[in-house]
């Protein structure tokens, strides 16, 4: 009987051009089951302090979750983790699709890339073996051509190909990874890290099935079948199934929390041009990830002023808000084209859009002009200039060389008031969720180790109405009383602490954010049941929360080693402490003193030093990772 894992990790030393396989026992997996925890462990152990994010000493870990590949809806994710070239901090990004499950089927739970190849290479992984192959002819090619060439070379039409684009080749610090052309590790620049190692692609194919790894395959299969049947019975999951994330735009606008004009406003007067009706007119279909019944991924295809095909994934909500309302553009076809260009070039949509919106504001205030922009008229509402800028970013030419820096580094160059307009934390641009309308998200933006990520905790509106389906789903975590979306008191801090641990556990287990409660249809007891059936471990909700907390602390200790502290790193952009200028929440702000008090309360719950944000030795020992204190030299 298995414990839900292969027990093997593939190691690739690119400098030496060698591959090897390491085996780990069940005791190791109980502490570092997969995903974020497994990757963070190896990053701390193997990457020297102060390593250049784009140098050979950086370590890139691609780690599947404990349940990735199980026949359970939304258990599809894998993590890409390294030191981020955009932030210099813990770099983390997850993706779904088929690559992660296929890696498990190929016999490995993770791949560790070290060193740097002397020339472009790609890596072929199949059924417990790996080869490093020449990629000279692939460098500079478009992603579809790379994928087709690799599949033809290996004779596997369904080989799953993870790759970078031109942005990754050119080391743009917010370049992404893509697999099967439709699923993206978008955030924190993991594409640049892989590009810096001269790796264009990693293709995987396996013959094994997850049920061969499971402790009780019959029970696991029964859970998966039942969950697939109940997807359509859950209102939130049904909404995702019918509309996907583009269905969020109108509701967020009506609530006053749709980022508009670089987060100055919370509602967009021209939302009809990018809302659901506009998107539905260009939607060509939907797709899904491995074994997932939700089917939330949108596709777009049309020909008009622009030509957009369904080669890549269509725009998610983040692209619609980022290239739409936040850039004051009300043309859904242009937004879809911008999204397609980012996908083809291998750029993170959120950081690309956030940096462009920042520049638009600098232009509006006269801090950037023709001399810096070289004829690219990046002002709010100018969609053609936005489209012109995207390939320049990927090539790092013209004004693109400036935009490729990201908003924080660009603001540091410009100086003056622009420092307050760069909507980023730790250098990572904010996701398109307005935290002045849901302040728990603000806690996540400020304190998350990777920066301003919206998928690190519960979103506040879930806890406003105790009769809602989402609230009832959260009651399994001991949350029984509602709290307002703008509340920053002790109750909210405790909810956030719980949510952070649960969402971190999802990243360790391999679940999508749109699977488990409170966001969606998989109840907490079903997650527990799946873990037990896969592993045979006598785990409960508290055990999973501890697994999540351990992963958070591993990431935090990585940042501590790299010199990050509460001040100045766990800090919101100045703008979020000023009033919103438009929409139903006009005048709403995040009180700075109350917010700092909330962070202090959160750190006390975590067992972290309130002044520095460094985990205490006592908490690290309790989590079984006291070794990190010795490694980093604290406590």
Please tell me whether residues 577 and 603 are part of one structural domain. yes
Closest to 296 in 3D by CA, of 355, 236, 345: 236
In a domain, 373, yes or no: yes
3-state secondary structure of 423: coil
Q: What is the pLDDT of residues 302-343, one digit of tens each?
A: 999 999 999 999 999 999 999 999 999 999 999 999 999 999
Contact 34, 509 (CB under 8 A): yes
Q: What is the pLDDT of residues 39-56, one digit of tens each?
A: 999 999 999 999 999 999
How many residues are recorded in the chain? 635
In a domain, 3, yes or no: no
> What is d(CA 58, CA 49) in angstroms, rounded to the nearest whole number?
10
Please tell me whether residues 122 and 187 are part of one structural domain. yes
Contact 158, 38 (CB under 8 A): no
In a domain, 267, yes or no: yes
Q: What is the pLDDT of residues 553-592, one digit of tens each?
A: 999 999 999 999 999 999 999 999 999 998 999 999 999 9
The CA-based diameter of the chain, rounded to the nearest angstrom, is 67
Please tell me whether residues 68 and 171 are part of one structural domain. yes
Please tell me whether residues 284 and 352 are part of one structural domain. yes
Sort strands 129-134 and 18-23 into parallel, antiparallel or unpaired: unpaired
Q: What is the pLDDT of residues 94-115, one digit of tens each?
A: 999 999 999 999 999 999 999 9
In a domain, 2, yes or no: no
For the cut 70, the answer to whether the pLDDT of residue 266 exceeds it is yes
> What is d(CA 69, CA 102) in angstroms, rounded to the nearest whole number?
7
pLDDT of residue 128: 97
Q: What is the dihedral of CA 384, 386, 392, 398, to 10 degrees?
A: 90
In 346-438, which ranges are continuous DSSP H helix?
349-364, 370-373, 383-395, 400-403, 407-414
One-character DSSP codes across 548-595: HHHHHHHHHHHHHHTT--HHHHS---GGGGS---SSTTTT----HHHH
Choice between 427 and 470, residue whose per-residue pLDDT is larger: 427
Please tell me whether residues 452 and 417 are part of one structural domain. no
> What is d(CA 378, CA 359) in angstroms, rounded to the nearest whole number?
7
Sort strands 90-95 and 78-83 into parallel, antiparallel or unpaired: antiparallel
- Neighbour-count burial of 540, counting CB atoms closer than 10 A to its CB (0-12 exposed, 13-18 middle, 19+ buried): middle
Contact 183, 288 (CB under 8 A): no
Count of domains for the chain = 3
Please tell me whether residues 420 and 439 are part of one structural domain. no
> What is d(CA 118, CA 134) in angstroms, rounded to the nearest whole number?
11
Cβ-Cβ contacts under 8 Å for 467 (sequence gap 6 or more): none
Look up the CATH number of the domain holding residue 516: 1.10.599.10
pLDDT of residue 231: 84
Please tell me whether residues 413 and 440 are part of one structural domain. no
pLDDT of residue 236: 74
Q: What is the pLDDT of residues 498-543, one digit of tens each?
A: 999 999 999 999 999 999 999 889 999 999 999 999 999 999 999 9
Place of tokens 């404990």: 66
Q: What is the pTM of this model?
A: 0.97
Please tell me whether residues 173 and 138 are part of one structural domain. yes
Please tell me whether residues 458 and 590 are part of one structural domain. yes
Mean pLDDT lowest for which of 199-208, 284-293, 465-474, 506-515?
Answer: 465-474
Please tell me whether residues 395 and 453 are part of one structural domain. no
Closest to 346 in 3D by CA, of 392, 394, 299: 394
pLDDT of residue 394: 98
Domain range enclosing 132: 8-212
pLDDT of residue 238: 77
| Mean pLDDT to the nearest integer, 64-88 | 98
Please tell me whether residues 509 and 602 are part of one structural domain. yes
Cβ-Cβ contacts under 8 Å for 83 (sequence gap 6 or more): 43, 47, 51, 53, 58, 59, 89, 90, 91, 193, 558, 562
Look up the CATH number of the domain holding residue 335: 1.10.569.10
Q: What is the pLDDT of residues 202-258, one digit of tens each?
A: 999 999 999 999 999 999 999 999 999 888 777 777 788 889 999 999 999 999 999
Please tell me whether residues 202 and 140 are part of one structural domain. yes
Q: Tokens at residue 338, please?
A: 């911008």
Categorise residue 323: left if φ over 0, alpha if ψ from -120 to 50, beta otherwise.
alpha
């Amino acid at each position: 009987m298995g414990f839900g894992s292969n027990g093997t990790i593939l190691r690739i030393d690119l400098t030496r051009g060698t591959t090897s396989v390491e085996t780990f026992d069940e005791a190791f997996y109980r502490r570092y089951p997969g995903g974020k925890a497994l990757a963070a462990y190896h990053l701390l152990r193997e990457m020297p302090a102060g390593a250049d994010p784009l140098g050979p000493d950086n370590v890139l870990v691609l780690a599947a979750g404990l349940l990735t590949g199980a026949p359970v809806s939304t258990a599809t994710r894998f993590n890409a983790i390294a030191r981020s070239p955009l932030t210099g901090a813990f770099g983390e990004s997850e993706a779904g699709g088929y690559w992660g499950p296929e890696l498990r089927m190929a016999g490995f739970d993770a791949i560790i890339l070290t060193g740097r190849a002397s020339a472009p290479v790609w890596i072929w992984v199949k059924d417990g073996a790996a080869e490093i192959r020449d990629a000279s002819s692939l460098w500079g090619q478009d992603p579809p051509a790379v994928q087709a060439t690799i599949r033809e070379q290996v004779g596997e039409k369904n080989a799953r190909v993870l790759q970078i684009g031109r942005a990754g080749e050119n080391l743009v610090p917010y370049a992404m990874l893509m697999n099967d052309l439709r699923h993206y590790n978008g955030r924190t620049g993991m594409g640049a890290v892989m590009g810096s190692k001269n790796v264009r692609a990693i293709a995987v194919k396996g013959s094994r099935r997850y049920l061969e790894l499971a402790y009780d395959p019959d029970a696991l299969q029964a859970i998966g079948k039942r969950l697939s049947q109940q997807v359509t019975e859950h209102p939130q999951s049904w909404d995702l199934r019918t509309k996907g994330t583009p269905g969020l735009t109108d509701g967020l606008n009506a609530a006053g929390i749709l980022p508009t004009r670089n987060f100055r406003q919370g509602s967009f007067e021209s939302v009809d041009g990018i809302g659901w009706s506009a998107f539905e007119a260009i939607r060509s279909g939907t797709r899904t990830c491995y074994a997932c019944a939700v089917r939330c991924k949108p596709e777009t295809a049309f020909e008009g002023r622009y030509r957009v095909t369904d080669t890549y994934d269509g725009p998610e909500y983040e692209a619609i808000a980022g290239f739409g309302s936040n850039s004051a553009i009300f043309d859904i076809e242009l937004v879809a084209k911008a999204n397609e260009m980012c996908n083809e070039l291998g750029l993170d949509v959120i950081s690309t859009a956030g940096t462009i919106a920042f520049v638009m504001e600098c232009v509006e205030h006269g801090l950037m002009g023709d001399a810096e922009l070289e004829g690219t008229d990046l002002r709010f509402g100018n969609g053609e200039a936005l489209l012109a800028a995207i390939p320049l970013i990927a090539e790092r030419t013209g004004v693109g060389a400036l935009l490729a820096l990201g908003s924080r580094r660009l603001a540091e160059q410009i100086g003056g008031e622009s420092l307050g307009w760069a909507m980023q934390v730790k250098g990572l641009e904010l996701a398109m969720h307005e935290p002045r309308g849901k302040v728990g998200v603000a806690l996540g933006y400020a304190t998350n180790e990777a920066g301003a990520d919206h998928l690190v905790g519960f979103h506040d509106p879930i806890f406003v109405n105790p009769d809602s389906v989402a609230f009832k789903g959260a009651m399994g975590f001991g949350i029984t009383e509602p709290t307002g979306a703008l509340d920053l008191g002790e109750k909210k801090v405790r909810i956030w602490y719980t949510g952070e641990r649960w969402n971190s556990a999802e990243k360790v287990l391999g679940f999508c954010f749109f699977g488990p409660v409170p966001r969606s249809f998989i109840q907490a007891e079903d997650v527990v049941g799946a873990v037990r059936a896969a592993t045979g471990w006598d785990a409960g909700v508290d055990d999973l929360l501890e697994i999540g907390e351990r992963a958070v602390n591993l990431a935090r200790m990585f940042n501590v080693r790299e010199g990050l502290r509460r001040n100045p790193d766990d800090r919101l952009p100045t703008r979020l402490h000023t009033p919103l200028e438009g929409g139903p929440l006009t005048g709403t702000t995040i009180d700075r003193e109350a917010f700092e008090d909330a962070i202090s309360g959160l750190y006390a719950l975590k067992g972290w030093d309130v002044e520095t944000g460094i985990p205490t030795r006592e908490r690290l020992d309790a989590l079984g990772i006291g070794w990190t204190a010795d490694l980093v030299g604290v406590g």
